[in-house]
Structure 1
Amino acid sequence: MKVITNRKYGPPEVLRLEEWETPIPKENEIRVKIINTTVNSGDWRVRKPDPNIARLYFGLFKPRSVVLGLSFAGLVDTVGTKVSTFQVGDRVVGSTGMKMGTYAEYTCIPETGIVTKLPKEISFAEGAGISFGGFTALDFIQKCNVQTNQSILIYGASSSVGSAAIQLAKHFGAHVTTVCSKGNIPLMKSLGADEPLDYDQYFSTNHTKEYDIVFECVGKTEIQNNLKHLKKGGNLVLVGASFRQMWQALWISIFKRIKIHFGPIKESIENLNFLLTLATLGKIKVNIDKVYPLEEMAEAHRYVEAGHKKGNVVIQVEKTK
C-alpha cells in the first residue's frame, strides 16, 4: 500500500511517499480502505515539531510515529474473526487518535475504537473532515457548558475548529461573534455567526465588549488580550496554545481562579455519533477548503501551516467509483 512517511523532523519536504505491506487486522480489528483523510494543525506541529518540547512525547531525535494523520473515512475491507459490529463494505468514519497512521491507503482499528458507520447522507470527504475540528470544538464547548443566550467570541473562526465551533455554539443557543479576515466574513455568516468581525474591528480600541466565552482557535493572540474580553466567571479556551501560554494559563487558573481550558481533547464514540447526527440533519456542515491527492501531501502541509485555510483540507487517498 502507499503511505506518506515522516521519518525525520523538518519542513513539508521531509514527507515521503513509500510502499508498505498492507496491514493484517487482529481478531478484534477491522481494516479500513481509506478514501479520505485530512491535514490539520496538529499534523504539521508534530512534523516540525512545534513546540520543540513536543519531542519528549513524539520522539526526541526523530518521530516515533512514522505515519501521521488522525482522521479517516473509507470502506471496511477486512474484519477480524471476533468482529461483530462491522461487515466488509461498510462505510465508516473515525479517528486513530495519538496512534495516528491515516496518511495511508489502509489502517487497522479495533472494533471498539473511535470508529462508526458513516451515514449515506455524508460524503467520505465530509466524514473525514468532521472529526478533528468537530471533536475539538465539541469537547471544549462541553467543558464550557455553553448555555442558551450566552455570548461566545470565536477568534480564528475560519479554521476547521472555528467553523465547527460556530455551528455547535449556535446549536446550543449561544450568540456567536466571530473574528476572521475580511474575505472570510461571508463564510462566517453562512455558518450562522450573529456578529462577524474582521481583525481590525476586533483589535480596535472601540471594541470593548465582554463575552461569557472567548474561544481562541489558532494560538495567535496573547492571553491578556483575551482576558480583556472575558466576563467575570467566564471561560477562556486556548485551542492552539503554545507551551509558554499553557504554563501562563495554568498559573492564572490557579492563582486568579479564572477558568481556562487548553491541552489534549477527549475523543469519544458518543461525540462522533452526535456530530454525525447533526450533520445528517443538516444542523452542521463540513466546510472543505481544498482537496489534495495523497501524493501532494507536502503541498497540503505547506498550505495548512501558512494558516489561511477555511475549514478543512482533505486528502484524496483513493478515488471513489
Structure 2
Amino acid sequence: MNTTEKTAPRTEGSAGGVAGDATTMRAAVYDRFGGPDVVSVERMPRPTPADDQLLVRLHAASVSVADHRVRARDVPRGLRLPTMFALGWRRPTHRVLGMDGAGVVEAVGAGVADFAVGDRVVLLRGAAFGCHAEYAVVRAAGAVARIPDELTFVDAAALPFGFGTAQVFLEAGGIAQGDDVLVNGASGAVGSAAVQLAKRRGARVTGVCSAGNAELVRDLGAERVIDYAREDFTSSGARYDAVVECVGNAPYRRARRAIRRGGVLLLVIADLAGIVGSKLRPVRHGIRRVQDTGAVTGTHLAEFARLAAAGDVRPVIDRVYPLDRIREAHAYVDGGHKRGNVIVTLADPS
C-alpha cells in the first residue's frame, strides 16, 4: 500500500550519482549547525557490522522534526545548553542525520541468528541517527524487524518515528477502552499515528489541527476535530482522560484545564520545565505528567509493519524526495506544516 497525501512533489527512484566502491557509500552529511544549506551529499566510509549487528542497505528514511531540531539546534526552551552535550558544542556529534529507515539486510555479524542476508527490514536508530545514508548498522536484538512483502520501503520508513513514539506514550499513559483522548498536533508524524493507535485501543479521539488537515484527521479515526485557529481546546470546558501533546504549545499549566482529575498529560514535546516537573512531581492536582517512556522495540516495529501491510493503520506520507534533493526535504520540514511524514529515497523505493 502507499498513502501519499500530495502526489505532485513526489519523486521516486535511485538516488543517482556515480557508483562508488564496496567500502564507501553516499550520505547526507552536515558539519555545522544551521539551515538546510548546511546539508550536502558526499561519499563516506561504509559501516561494518559488529558481531551482534546487521548491515542494512537502506531504500528509504524519514526526515523528521527531530532531524530539524538537531540540525538547526531548534530545541524547546531551556534545553539548548543541556542538549549541546549530546548534539555537539561547535560541530555536530552525528554527521549523518536520520533516525529510522527501511531496506534490505546486506550482511550479518558473526553472532546474528535471527536475520539473514536479503531480509526486508525496518529499523530505528533513534538518537544514534545515521539513516540518511545508503547503509546503516543496527543491533539485531534492537529496534529492527522484518517487513511483509506487501509493504513498500517508503511506507515502512514512515512507521518507526511516528508510530513508535505514539505507541510508547500511549502505553505509558495506560490509554484504554472508553478513554477520551485529545491529540494536539493530530496531523503530524506522531499525532497522526497517535490518533490511529488510540482509536485501536478503544478510545474516543479528538484531534487538534489546522482546518486544512481536518478531513485527514477524521479519516484516521478522530470522532471530533478542533481547528486550533478558531478554538482553544484548553478553554472550551471539555475534559479528557488524556492529552497527547505533540506540538509544544500546551504545557501542564495550560493543558491541565482540559484534563480530568485522574487523567494524564503525555508530553511528547516538553521544555526543560516540563521535563524537570514531570520527574520531580509526576502527579500534580490529580493529573499525571508523563515525559519519560519505555523504548521502541523490534516487537513494536514488527506489529506496526503487520498492521500497515494489512491496511489496519495508515502511514501518512506528505512528500517523497530522492537523496540528491534532501535539502528540499529539510526545508519543507522546517516550514512546520507537513502532514505526517517526509521521506527520502536512497535506492529503488519499491
The TM-score by the shorter chain falls in which range?
over 0.9
Equivalent residue for 2:44? 20
For the pair 1:318 / 2:347, whether they are aligned, the reply is: yes
Deviations 1:236-272 (A, max 9, x none): 0121212243335456536645311124651212222
For the pair 1:9 / 2:33, whether they are aligned, the reply is: yes
Distance 2:335 2:29 in 1: 21
- Say which structure is richer in helix: 1
Distance 1:270 1:43 in 2: 24
Distance 2:207 2:100 in 1: 26
From 53, 65, 76, the equivalent of 1:29 is 53
Q: Which moved more, 1:52-61 or 1:150-159?
A: 52-61
Distance 1:49 1:97 in 2: 17
Q: Report the CA distance between 1:37 and its aligned residue.
A: 0.3
Q: Which moved more, 1:218-227 or 1:71-80?
A: 218-227
Q: Confirm or deny: 8 A CA contact 2:123 2:138 kept in the other structure.
A: no
Equivalent residue for 1:108? 137
- Where 1:185 maps in the other structure, the secondary structure is helix
Equivalent residue for 2:210? 181
Equivalent residue for 2:242? 213
Q: Confirm or deny: 8 A CA contact 1:31 1:77 kept in the other structure.
A: yes
Taking a change above 3 Å as real, the CA distance of residues 203 and 16 of structure 1, as seen in their structure-2 partners, is same
How many aligned positions are there?
321
Q: Report the CA distance between 1:27 and its aligned residue.
A: 3.0
Q: Counterparts in 2 of 1:1-321, with a 5 A limit?
A: 1-51=25-75, 52-53=80-81, 54-203=83-232, 207-250=236-279, 253=282, 256=285, 258-263=287-292, 266-320=295-349
Q: Report the CA distance between 1:6 and its aligned residue.
A: 2.0
- Where 2:175 maps in the other structure, the secondary structure is coil
Distance 2:230 2:281 in 1: 27
Distance 1:229 1:107 in 2: 43
Q: Confirm or deny: 8 A CA contact 1:179 1:202 kept in the other structure.
A: no
Q: Report the CA distance between 1:204 and its aligned residue.
A: 7.2
Deviations 1:285-309 (A, max 9, x none): 1010000111222221221122111
Q: How does the TM-score come out when normalised to structure 2? A: 0.86
Q: Report the CA distance between 1:222 and its aligned residue.
A: 4.1
Q: Counterpart amino acid of 2:270?
A: A
Gaps of 5+ in 2: 1-24
Deviations 1:187-223 (A, max 9, x none): 0111011011111443179721000001111113343
Q: Confirm or deny: 8 A CA contact 2:234 2:254 kept in the other structure.
A: no
Taking a change above 3 Å as real, the CA distance of residues 223 and 302 of structure 1, as seen in their structure-2 partners, is farther
Taking a change above 3 Å as real, the CA distance of residues 150 and 257 of structure 1, as seen in their structure-2 partners, is closer
Distance 2:284 2:251 in 1: 18
Distance 2:51 2:171 in 1: 35
Deviations 1:24-52 (A, max 9, x none): 22233221110000011111111121332
Deviations 1:111-142 (A, max 9, x none): 22211111112110111110000010000000
Q: Counterpart amino acid of 2:176?
A: Q
Q: Report the CA distance between 1:317 and its aligned residue.
A: 1.0
Distance 1:36 1:205 in 2: 38
Distance 1:304 1:297 in 2: 11
Taking a change above 3 Å as real, the CA distance of residues 104 and 204 of structure 1, as seen in their structure-2 partners, is closer
Gaps of 5+ in 1: none
Taking a change above 3 Å as real, the CA distance of residues 61 and 256 of structure 1, as seen in their structure-2 partners, is farther
Q: Which moved more, 1:164-173 or 1:234-243?
A: 234-243
Taking a change above 3 Å as real, the CA distance of residues 135 and 308 of structure 1, as seen in their structure-2 partners, is same
Q: Confirm or deny: 8 A CA contact 2:260 2:287 kept in the other structure.
A: no
